[in-house]
């Protein structure tokens, strides 16, 4: 086992090497703010920045150090899709709804890249393209159907890559071809978060780390909310819940609606540049076509490969996680069978019962959460949108607010069914992999 790990191995996100977490300045919260935000990830900080620049007094509270959540832990893939493929959404909910949702997904994607460029946030944001590797011939056919539907209705580009050409994109023989989406992007999530945080601080946002919010109640005077934090109470006209996969049970209504699950990632040691280039010659991001995805990308700032998968497997011990992920790496990219891992880490994501992200207001409190692994663009977009709503701007309307935020009877935020769900995903993936392509 030890041979799998480098001597300087860290059970921490690779991204924290370049963007370490920093404590926020000490100090007690003011007696009142215009807006209090719970959670210091992309959602919370993008809302905070927009509000502060519009002249509002804003405080952000995080239970941990600012940026402790998934926003400095994710893979940095920037896309414009959901767990629900466009063609399936169209079949289930009609063309107008599917188009509106996918229009806002594109808006989330483009506006996040535009924001990074306008702000000059140096986070290696690049339209590198994405390879979706098909795990069976049936998956390949399904992928083509899905992408052709999006091209025909939405004008989104793609190119199919049959099995005998896959090595043009990836040094792997286990996939049945794939598809390239040429304009999807990637970034360094730690540097993106750090840039966002420094812009928020410069705009006058007060950020309190290690300061859990334990209660949000309507003020007795009826003019807003009383917020109880580890550092005392404060008042706010508006409150935003931006806790996604870290949503605590004390926020009962929200905790009943998100399904927290753990995502797993690893970084290899520095590879000879030519070996890395051979694995992913076009430096694209890669996901496979399974429900339970494996994903790969080159590090944007070193010659390492970063990868993840085995979502919600339940492991907590870093060495056990390393062994599991290394197995996935060896299987997909056999040239890397002998490389060691320098970092292994986890992070909390949020699924939802309808597999859609949700934004809205409950009992007067704003929320944006349930990103189902798409929170880099969607968290940024919902943060902006919530701020626009608080400011009463017309831009703050989105198709995502039209659906109710579902829960299940007796669900209180403990996803006891997660292992079963993942096994069901794996079974479906395996069954599809064995099936013959339709038509």
Ligand X SMILES: Cc1cc2nc3c(=O)[nH]c(=O)nc-3n(C[C@H](O)[C@H](O)[C@H](O)COP(=O)(O)OP(=O)(O)OC[C@H]3O[C@@H](n4cnc5c(N)ncnc54)[C@H](O)[C@@H]3O)c2cc1C
Distance CA 42, CA 45 (A): 5
φ, ψ for residue 420, nearest 5 deg:
-65, -45
Least Å distance, CB 240 to ligand X, is 10
Least Å distance, CB 283 to ligand X, is 15
Of the candidate residues 5, 242, 271, 365, the single one contacting ligand X (CB under 6 A)? 242
Applying the rule CB under 6 A, the residues between 34 and 73 that interact with ligand X are 38-44, 61-64, 68-71, 73
| Positive or negative torsion for Cα 114, 118, 122, 128 | positive
Q: Which is nearer to ligand X, 116 or 213 (CB)?
A: 213
Applying the rule CB under 6 A, the residues between 335 and 394 that interact with ligand X are 347, 349, 371, 373-377, 379
Q: Which is nearer to ligand X, 321 or 336 (CB)?
A: 321
Residues whose CB is less than 8 angstroms from the CB of residue 372 and which lie 6 or more positions away in sequence, other chains included: 82, 83, 349, 350, 351, 352, 355, 356, 357
Q: Which helix (H) or strand (E) holds 296?
A: strand 295-298
Residues whose CB is less than 8 angstroms from the CB of residue 159 and which lie 6 or more positions away in sequence, other chains included: 179, 180, 182
Applying the rule CB under 6 A, the residues between 408 and 437 that interact with ligand X are none
Least Å distance, CB 49 to ligand X, is 13
Closest residue to ligand X, judged by C-beta, is 375
Task: Write down the residue that tokens 């040429």 correspond to.
Answer: 182
Distances (CA, A) of 112 to 25, 30, 120, 193: 28, 31, 12, 12
x/- string (CB under 6 A) for ligand X, residues 68-107?
A: xxxx-xxxxx------------------------------
The residues pairing with 437 across neighbouring beta strands, listed in sequence order, are none
Least Å distance, CB 264 to ligand X, is 6
Looking from the CA of 129 toward its CB, the CA atoms found within 13 Å total 16
213 counts as binding ligand X under rule CB under 6 A: yes
Q: Which is nearer to ligand X, 29 or 44 (CB)?
A: 44
Contact set with ligand X (CB under 6 A): 38-44, 61-64, 68-71, 73-77, 212-213, 242-246, 248, 263, 265, 308, 347, 349, 371, 373-377, 379
């Amino acid at each position: 086992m030890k041979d799998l790990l480098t001597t300087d191995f860290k059970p921490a996100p690779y991204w924290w090497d370049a963007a370490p977490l920093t404590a926020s300045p000490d100090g007690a919260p003011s007696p009142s703010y215009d807006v209090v935000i719970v959670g210091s990830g992309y959602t919370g900080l993008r809302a905070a920045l927009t509000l502060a620049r519009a002249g509002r007094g804003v405080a952000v509270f995080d239970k941990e150090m600012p940026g402790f959540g998934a926003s400095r832990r994710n893979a940095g893939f920037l896309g414009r899709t959901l767990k629900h493929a466009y063609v399936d959404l169209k079949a289930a909910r009609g063309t107008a709804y599917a188009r509106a949702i996918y229009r806002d997904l594109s808006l989330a994607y483009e506006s996040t890249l535009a924001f990074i460029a306008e702000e000059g946030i140096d986070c290696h944001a690049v339209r590198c393209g994405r390879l979706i590797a098909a795990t069976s011939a049936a998956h390949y056919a399904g992928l083509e159907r899905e992408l052709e539907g999006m091209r025909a209705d939405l004008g989104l580009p793609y190119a199919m890559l049959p099995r005998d050409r896959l090595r043009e994109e990836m040094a792997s023989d286990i996939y049945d071809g794939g598809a390239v989406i040429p304009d999807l992007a990637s970034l360094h999530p730690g540097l993106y978060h750090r840039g966002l945080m420094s812009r928020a601080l410069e705009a006058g946002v007060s950020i309190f780390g290690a300061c859990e919010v334990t209660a949000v109640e309507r003020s007795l005077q009826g003019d807003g909310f009383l917020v109880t934090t580890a550092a005392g109470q404060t008042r706010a006209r508006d409150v935003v819940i931006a806790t996604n996969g870290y949503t605590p049970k004390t926020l009962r209504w929200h905790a009943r609606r998100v399904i927290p699950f753990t995502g797993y990632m690893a970084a290899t040691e520095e590879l000879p540049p030519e070996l890395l280039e051979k694995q992913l010659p076009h430096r694209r991001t890669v996901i496979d076509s399974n429900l339970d995805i494996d994903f790969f990308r080159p590090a944007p700032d070193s010659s390492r490969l970063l990868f993840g998968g085995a979502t919600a497997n339940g492991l907590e011990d870093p060495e056990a996680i390393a062994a599991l992920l290394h197995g996935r790496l060896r299987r997909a990219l056999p040239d890397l069978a002998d490389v060691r891992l320098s970092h292994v880490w986890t992070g909390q994501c949020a699924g939802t019962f309808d597999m859609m992200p949700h934004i809205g207001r409950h009992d007067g409190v704003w929320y944006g959460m349930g990103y189902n692994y798409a929170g880099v663009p969607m968290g940024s977009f919902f943060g902006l949108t919530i701020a626009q709503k608080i400011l009463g701007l017309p831009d703050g309307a989105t198709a995502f607010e039209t659906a109710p935020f579902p829960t299940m009877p007796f669900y209180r935020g403990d996803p006891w069914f997660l292992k079963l769900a993942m096994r069901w995903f794996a079974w479906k993936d395996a069954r599809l992999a064995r099936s013959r392509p339709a038509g």
